[in-house]
Amino acid sequence: MTIKRTLLCIAMEAEAKPLIEKLKLTGDTSFFPPNTPFVCHRSEAVTVVCAGKDSATSVDNVGTVPASLMTYLALQRDEFDLVINAGTCGGFKSMGATIGGVFITTASANHDRRIEIPGTQFKEYGIGAIDSIATPNLTKLLKAKNGVCTTGNSLDHCKEDDEIMANNNASCKDMEAAAIASICKMCDVPHFGVKVVTDIVDGDRPPFEEFMENLGSAAQSLQATLPAVLDFVQGKTIEEL
């Protein structure tokens, strides 16, 4: 079976906007139930969903709870052959990350769900590691790096997060990947992530400074990368990626 329709899950509007404009996607206000904040733009082959704005604070609905609900509601329509989680991330320079560089995920896992109950598998559940599909040809085409994306609901990272991110063998860090992956697994739809580095996790600058500085250029880098990704996947089988 070849890939005909691809769902792109993007948390923030600023990450998605250049791509939506570039691909001339049309807003579809009937895609999501009206009580949700989620936003959809689409063409025949490509659907981009964003998590929308929080009603109380007007900031983007970042994090695992909106990302998972948005992804589930999109996949409930049973239209998609592939999910790509696209967006920005923190990168580990110890794993070769540079600002603006692109990672294609090999797996995702959580680093802020510490549930240690001896004699149970709650610890493994909390980590929730899920493989992405293999994309050797796409990775080569994009000259991207492969790596594990580690997910947590904080922009910063505490000592406990650092230990688990290291155990997760993470190359990059975001706030949604593991949640989106868990929904793709639930719905049995193949997925991977395309993440552009806005800040260095194992550097010496506060993440928010680099994040805000580089969000615009990273969105431009996403806009340059994602059309090539979408061109490549369209009409191919999962095994050909």
Q: Which residues of the shown chain bind a copy of itself in the complex (CB under 8 A)?
A: 33, 35-37, 54-59, 61-65, 68-69, 72, 76, 110, 112-118, 120-122, 124-126, 128, 152-156, 158-160, 179, 182-183, 185-188, 208, 211-212
Among the listed residues 60, 161, 199, 210, the single catalytic one is: 199
Q: How far is the CB of 19 from a copy of itself (least distance, A)?
A: 22
Which residues touch 90 (CB under 8 Å, ≥6 apart)? 172, 173, 174, 197, 198, 199, 200, 201, 207, 211
Residue number, 31 or 122, with CB nearest to a copy of itself: 122
Cβ within 8 Å of residue 15, ≥6 positions away = 50, 86, 87, 88, 215, 218, 219, 222
Cα–Cα distance, 93 to 117 (Å, whole number): 33
Cβ distance to a copy of itself smaller for residue 30 or 58: 58
DSSP 179-241: HHHHHHHHHT--EEEEEEEEEETTSSS-HHHHHHHHHHHHHHHHHHHHHHHHHHHTT-BGGG-
Report DSSP state, residue 81. Answer: S
Measured from the CB atom, the residue of 68 and 171 that comes closer to a copy of itself is 68
Residue 70 tokens, joined: 């948005």
Q: How far is the CB of 39 from a copy of itself (least distance, A)?
A: 14
Torsion of Cα atoms, 36 then 12 then 153 then 53, to 10°: -40
Closer of 102 and 130 to a copy of itself (Cβ): 130
15 flagged as catalytic: yes
The answer to whether residues 240 and 7 touch, using CB atoms and an 8 Å cutoff, is no
- Among 15, 60, 161, 174, the active-site one is 15
* Residue 1 or 59 with smaller CB distance to a copy of itself: 59
Backbone angles phi, psi at 78, to 5 degrees: 60, 40
Closest separation in Å from C-beta 25 to a copy of itself: 25
Smallest separation (angstroms) from a copy of itself to the CB of 24: 30
In the bound complex, what is the minimum distance in angstroms from residue 241's beta carbon to a copy of itself? 23
Annotated catalytic residues are 15, 199
